[in-house]
Amino acid sequence: MQALLPTSTPTPIAPAQARERVLGSDNRGRVRLVQLLTVFAIYFACALIMWGGAAYGLIPAAPLTGWCLYVAVGMAVFYLLIRSGWSQRTADPMLSEAQVVFGVVAVLWAYLMCGVWRSATLFPLMLILTFGAFVSSWRRLAALTVLALIGLAASIALLHGGHPNAYDWRADIANLLMMAVVLPTCSIVAARLSSLRARLHSQRDRLERALDEVQRLATEDELTGLQNRRRMQELLELEHSRSVRSGRTFCLAVIDLDHFGEINDEHGHAVGDQVLRLFAGEAKGAIRASDLLARWSDEAFVLLMPDTHAALARLGVERLRERTAATTIDAGASRLALRFSAGVVEHLAGESVSDAIGRAERALASAKVQGRNRVVVG
C-alpha cells in the first residue's frame, strides 16, 4: 500500500503583498500606476460598450479586435515603463504626453469604426486631455489640443472620402465644431490644474528645505559645524542602549582647549571663533569615520568612540593632540599654538552616560592639574 505523503498548502498572498507586487513600494510610482490603471479601466469599459454594439452588428468585429489589442498592448507598455522605473529617467515620469497621444489615436480609431455610435466616442477625448494637468507646459498642452482637432478633422475627411453617401456629414461637422469649443476649454482647465500642481510642488519643496534647515540648526553647532550638545546627548544615549544590548563597550573623551579664555581676552572673540573652527576642522580629519565629535560648551568638546577600549581611545586622542599641537593660528603680531587637554574614559557596565561623562571631566581636571596639553585616562 502506497504511503500517503503530506501535501503542502500554498501560502496565500496577503492583499498588501499583492498591491506591492502590482504597484511597487515607491509612493510616487504607486500614484502613477494607480492613475494608469484607472485609465485602463475606462478603456475597458469603453471596449465592453463597443462589443455590445458589435453584438448587434453596429460595429465590425475585426477592427474592434484590432482596437482592443492596440489598447491592451499600449497600456501594458506604459505599465512596464512606469513600474520598472524607466520612466523616471525622463522629464515626464508619468509619460503624460505619450499617453495623451496614445489616447487621441484610440479615440479617432474608434470614431472611424463605430458608425452611428461615433459621436459617443468623442467624450473620452475630453477626459484624455485632462491628463494635460501632468504635462510639463501649457504650450505642449496647446499643441496636443491642436493635434487632437486636426486628427478629428482628418478622420472625418477619411470617413466621408471612403463612404461618400453612408453618413450625414452635417453630424460630423457639428462634432468637429463642438470639439473645437470643448477641447480648448478642457485644455485651459488642465493648464490651470498643472499650474496649481507646480505651485504646490514648489511650496512643498521650500517647506522641506526649511524643515531640513530647522533640523540642521537644532542638531548642529553653527560656528564649528559639529554636532551640538543636545544632539550629542541623544547620540550618547543611543550608543549606551546599543552597548547594553550588544555587550560592546565604548569610550568618551572630554576635550578642553587650553587657555581659551585668555585667547578671547587678549585677541578678541573673532580670533577665538577662528580657533574653535580650526580645531573642529583638524579633529574631523583626525578621528575615525565611526567617531562622533560635538561642541559641548564654549571651549569644551565631547568625542564618542564606539566599539573602542580605553587604550585605543587614548592613542586616538593623543594622535589628535599631536596634530593640533603642530597647528598655529595667526593672531596679528603673533601666532598662537593650538593646544588642548583631554580626559578619556571607557564606559563601565551598569554605568549611566552622565556618570561616564563625570569621570571623563574628572580625568580632564587631572590633565589640567598636571600641566595641560596632555591626555589622562580616568
Q: What is the pLDDT of residues 68-117, one digit of tens each?
A: 999 999 999 999 998 888 988 888 888 888 888 898 899 999 988 888 88
**Which of 69-78, 130-139, 199-208, 269-278 is modeled with the greatest confidence?**
69-78
pLDDT score, position 264? 82
Mean predicted lDDT score pLDDT of the chain: 84
> 140 and 89 share a domain?
yes
Residues contacting residue 156 through CB under 8 Å, at least 6 positions apart: 169, 172, 173, 175, 176
Closest CA to 279 of 297, 295, 263: 295
Between 16 and 299, the more confident residue is 299
Contact 200, 146 (CB under 8 A): no
> 263 and 286 share a domain?
yes
CA separation for the pair 304, 294 (Å, rounded): 9
Residue 135 confidence class, pLDDT cut points 50, 70, 90: low
Q: How many domains does the chain have?
A: 2
CA separation for the pair 155, 302 (Å, rounded): 77
> 356 and 233 share a domain?
yes
CA separation for the pair 47, 109 (Å, rounded): 12
Residue 343 sits at the vertex; the CA angle it makes with 342 and 346, to the nearest 5 degrees, is: 135
Print the domain residue range for 145: 15-214
Residue 136 confidence class, pLDDT cut points 50, 70, 90: low
CA separation for the pair 190, 364 (Å, rounded): 68
pLDDT score, position 14? 61
pLDDT score, position 42? 86
Strand order in the sheet with 292-295: 292-295, 300-306, 250-257, 340-346, 375-377
- Element containing residue 376 per DSSP (H, E): strand 375-377
Interval 283-314: pLDDT, tens = 888 888 889 999 998 889 999 999 989 999 99
> 108 and 239 share a domain?
no
Q: Region 257-265: what's the mean pLDDT? A: 85
Residue 26 sits at the vertex; the CA angle it makes with 95 and 212, to the nearest 5 degrees, is: 105
pLDDT score, position 66? 93
Please state the φ and ψ torsions of residue 45, each to the nearest 5 degrees.
-65, -40
Neighbours of 135 (CB within 10 A): 24
pLDDT score, position 175? 84
pLDDT score, position 369? 92
**Which of 52-61, 189-198, 287-296 is modeled with the greatest confidence?**
287-296
Give the CATH number, domain containing residue 268: 3.30.70.270
Last residue of a domain, one of 214, 238, 266: 214
CA separation for the pair 337, 326 (Å, rounded): 7
> 40 and 176 share a domain?
yes
> 27 and 130 share a domain?
yes
Residue 256 confidence class, pLDDT cut points 50, 70, 90: very high
Q: What is the dihedral of CA 203, 207, 212, 217, to 10 degrees?
A: 130
CA separation for the pair 98, 136 (Å, rounded): 12
> 247 and 207 share a domain?
no
Residues contacting residue 183 through CB under 8 Å, at least 6 positions apart: 125, 126, 129, 145, 148, 149
Catalytic residue list contains 299 = yes
> 167 and 265 share a domain?
no
Which candidate in 239, 299, 346, 361 is catalytic?
299
Whole-model pTM over 0.85: no
Which neighbouring-strand residues pair with 302? 254, 294
Q: Which residue has the cell 501560502?
A: 11
Any idea what DSSP says for residue 3?
P
pLDDT score, position 133? 62
pLDDT score, position 255? 93
Any idea what DSSP says for residue 246?
H
- Element containing residue 344 per DSSP (H, E): strand 340-346
CA separation for the pair 220, 225 (Å, rounded): 6
Checking if the pLDDT of 67 tops 90, the result is yes
> 21 and 66 share a domain?
yes
As a whole-number percent, the residues of the chain with pLDDT over 90 amount to 27
Last residue of a domain, one of 160, 191, 214: 214
> 207 and 248 share a domain?
no
CA separation for the pair 75, 43 (Å, rounded): 10
Interval 316-349: pLDDT, tens = 999 999 988 888 887 766 788 889 999 999 999 8
Instruction: Compute CA distances 220 → 98, 257, 269, 303, 325, whole Å.
Output: 46, 20, 20, 15, 26
> 180 and 324 share a domain?
no
> 170 and 304 share a domain?
no
